[in-house]
Structure 1
Amino acid sequence: MQTPHALAALTALSHASRLAAFRELVQAGPDGLSVGELRDRLGLPPATLSAHLNVLRAADLVQDERDGRVIRVRAHYARMNALIDYLTENCCAGAACGPVPQCAPSKKGSKP
């Protein structure tokens, strides 16, 4: 990840509602949540949530997909992991400090 992309992601996450939305989506796993489910969990007005999701989309932290009349929003795990890698790239001044965990959620019911 390049610095401008990391800055965009960190800027997008620097608001309490956007961070809460992203964390809910990470917790939801690869199936994500419908916009309505996310709105209910966060207690945000529809227009406010839409604006926050637009910022997260612009930073490529979330992706969405239309399923009939429902829009499902998912965390973009590869982008999240790239940000974590960027932030820990020079961890421990180059000394071995252990592997940085990566998030690779599996579909419900599937074996790793």
Structure 2
Amino acid sequence: MTNDLSTQNAAQALAALGHEARLDVYRLLVRAGVEGLNVGEIGEQLNLPASTMAHHLRSLVQAGLITQERQGREILNRPDFTVMNKLTDFLTEECCSGVVRLCGAGK
């Protein structure tokens, strides 16, 4: 199976996840599932100040890892599971397909 996620997009997503607070936010949203969480709920669950939440969420949105939807006065944040799965596939799609001595083939 060929993954349609580019190396550049994968690098952007991994860079966004390379910050401890953003990784915590993303994992929390994955646990919340398709229902998502609003900004206040995320800050409350992770004890993160509101002053930094916008920055972290913006990075995750720009990387394509989460989506945001305005619902009245709140902004609902949800993980994009399609992108998450594409990133995981990107990281594993070439496992054991080219470095024979490292993969144990031919033993």
1:93 Cα deviation (Å)?
A: 2.6
Rounded to whole Å, the distance in 2 between the matches of 1:36 and 1:71 is 9
Please give the root-mean-square deviation of Cα atoms over the aligned residues, in Å.
1.0
Pair 1:85 & 2:89 matched: yes
State the TM-score, normalized to the length of structure 1. Answer: 0.81
Q: What is the count of residue pairs matched by the alignment?
A: 94
Percent identity for Structure 1 against Structure 2: 47
Mind listing any 5+ residue stretches in structure 1 that lack a counterpart? 95-112
Task: Please show how residues 21-100 of structure 1 align to structure 2 within 5 Å.
Answer: 21-93=25-97
State the TM-score, normalized to the length of structure 2. Answer: 0.85
Which structure's residues are more often helix, by fraction?
Answer: 2
Which residue does the alignment assign to 1:2? 6
Please identify runs of 4+ aligned residues in structure 1 that moved more than 6 A: none
Mind listing any 5+ residue stretches in structure 2 that lack a counterpart? 99-107
Code of the residue aligned with 2:88 in structure 1: it is I
Tell which structure's C-alpha radius of gyration is larger: 2
